[in-house]
Amino acid sequence: MTTLDPTVEGALPETEAAGRGNHPPGTFRVCATTGLTVDLAAEKFIKINAVFAVVFLLLGGIAALLLALTRWSAVHLLNAEWYYRMTTFHGLNMLILWILFMEIGILYFAATALLKSRLASVKAGWAGFACMAVGAIMLDAVILAGKADVMMTSYVPLRAHPTFYLAIILVAVGTLIGVINFLATVYIAKRDKTYSGSVPLVVFGAITAAIIAVSTLLHGAGIMIPTFLWSIDVIDHVDPAAYRLVWWGLGHQSQQVNVAAMVSVWYLLGTLTVGAKVLNQGVSRTAFLLYILFINLASAHHLLVDPGVSAGWKIWNTSYAMYLAVLASMIHGYTVPAAVEVALRKQGHTKGLFGWLGAAPWKNPGFSGFFLSLLIFGFIGGITGVTLGTEQINIIAHNTLRIPGHFHATVVGGTSLAFMALAYYVVPLIFRREFPLRWMCRAQPYVFAAGIVLMSLGMSFAGSYGVSRRSWDVEASGALHPVSYDPSVHVWLGVLGIGGSLAFVGLLMFVVPTVLAVFFGKRVEAKMPAW
């Protein structure tokens, strides 16, 4: 890496400095590996958001291991109270905190480095981060104190301590400030003409994620503020059906923010790892537009057994609108690997149908993580998602373990693995630290992916026999009506437990080298060492 600060050795010549967007002198550096302009203020926020993200990933991962060892009926580790506490803790740390902190880092990177722009507001950056950090710490504290055993969905009339709702509102407000700061940065980049033509596709994807995030956070405010007021007895009633309807505008859309961010990361890693170029700008941008227009409607599939909404409403949203959002994922699911294939074929890897795939840089965890994420998201998450979202089929799957079997393939095998793959570039390029234990980094995506696939299949097959998604006691002992399952469900629950444990090992294989690199890693002085 080099810097434009003339006091620092290796400064770039003045002529090169003149062509660097809207940065005041001394406020940026140029990455020697990628040639990207890195805004120094944005870099701080990318770093601090990434560090917090990894901390929450680890916390959520520990909870995940405990849950996997509880759902594994032969082990059944936690008692009921701690099982539901850890389910709440795991869901919020993984689905909200790890993802949101990482996404804010990605948004700041996309708007500043890819558009050669300064960050719109450093003060807003700190304000947003402070809200998110304080909210996140409050949230984890109130859950661990045993005052919010309401699961991630916190369906009313389940009632948590007011701090729980306040903490979620704080995280949401902080995220909203970050998103607005991102959009403001995109605006000033456009105003200052720091780039020519359209924004790059990765930034377009990030803008998509930001727009969906605004809608998500408004839904969150719309339901969490009244629920907070209910928790402190200012209002006496929150309608459960209305709560579910609006909450899923938060709960499902937030996962679509992940999808848009994940797809952007796929495009970015395709370029960083093999030099892939987008095949068709119009097609890929239209696909992102479909996410914005239809993804919220698709959240209706969470309400397919709710009595408060009509069959016509359910069928329109899940059997028509949802497919347009699925179409978007199918387009990206084709264009991303096709761009990789075209790039590798141009490099001479033209043997047979899959010679390019064999010649791909599988030892590079940035590539293997990204490509495995794409395969798991498409083959397991995509196929199960479309099927489970069908109004009629949903009746045999709703609230069974098949549902977490699906979304662990999309959010963990897809989004989390893609974000981990991105970290193998973020740490050397942004933190400017070399990864130690490189053999571990190279193996990590495979171990994590294998664990998630096993866990997801275990959940899906156990759920196919009717095992419920959230119950601590699979056998429902003491119930008025005895519940019995085919004995084979215990084999699948064992697969779930083994897969979950393996995925936790994969998570540690990510966290340990990353923490060692960030705090003790050898400084990257010039170009990033090739993977």
Partner 1 sequence: MTKEEKSGDLIEKESEHRGDGLHHAPGTFTLTLILLVSFVVYYFANWKALADVWHVR
Residues in contact with partner 1 by the rule CB under 8 A: 31, 33-37, 113-114, 195-202, 268, 271-272, 274-275, 277-282, 333-334, 337-338, 341-343, 345, 353-357, 378-379, 382-384, 386-387, 390, 392-393, 395-397, 464
- 75-83: long-range pairs with CB below 8 Å, 24+: 75/497, 78/472, 80/472, 80/473, 81/146, 81/149, 83/472
**What tokens does 485 get?**
């399952």
- Closer residue to partner 1 in complex, CB, 79/350: 350
> CB 126 → partner 1: shortest distance, Å?
27
> CB 337 → partner 1: shortest distance, Å?
5
Is residue 399 left, alpha or beta, with left meaning phi > 0 and alpha meaning psi from -120 to 50? left
- Closer residue to partner 1 in complex, CB, 163/271: 271
- Closer residue to partner 1 in complex, CB, 254/264: 264
> CB 394 → partner 1: shortest distance, Å?
9
Cβ pair 349, 289 in contact under 8 A: no
- Closer residue to partner 1 in complex, CB, 31/69: 31
> CB 198 → partner 1: shortest distance, Å?
4
Q: Give the separation between CA 108 and CA 184, rounded to whole angstroms.
A: 11
- Closer residue to partner 1 in complex, CB, 337/369: 337
- Closer residue to partner 1 in complex, CB, 207/224: 207
> CB 429 → partner 1: shortest distance, Å?
10
> CB 259 → partner 1: shortest distance, Å?
17
- Closer residue to partner 1 in complex, CB, 128/200: 200
> CB 387 → partner 1: shortest distance, Å?
5
Could you say which DSSP state residue 310 is in?
Answer: -
Could you say which DSSP state residue 37 is in?
Answer: E
What is the residue type of 278?
V
Describe the strand order of the beta sheet including 2-3 as a list of residue ranges.
Answer: 2-3, 28-30, 37-39
By the 10 Å C-beta count (0-12 exposed, 13-18 middle, 19+ buried), 40 is classed as middle
> CB 391 → partner 1: shortest distance, Å?
11
Q: Which helix (H) or strand (E) holds 345?
A: helix 322-346
By the 10 Å C-beta count (0-12 exposed, 13-18 middle, 19+ buried), 350 is classed as exposed
Cα separation of the two ends of the chain: 17
- Closer residue to partner 1 in complex, CB, 224/274: 274
> CB 109 → partner 1: shortest distance, Å?
12
- Closer residue to partner 1 in complex, CB, 88/271: 271
Torsion, Cα 503 508 509 512, to 10 degrees, reads 170
Q: How many residues does the chain have?
A: 531
**What tokens does 405 get?**
């079997």
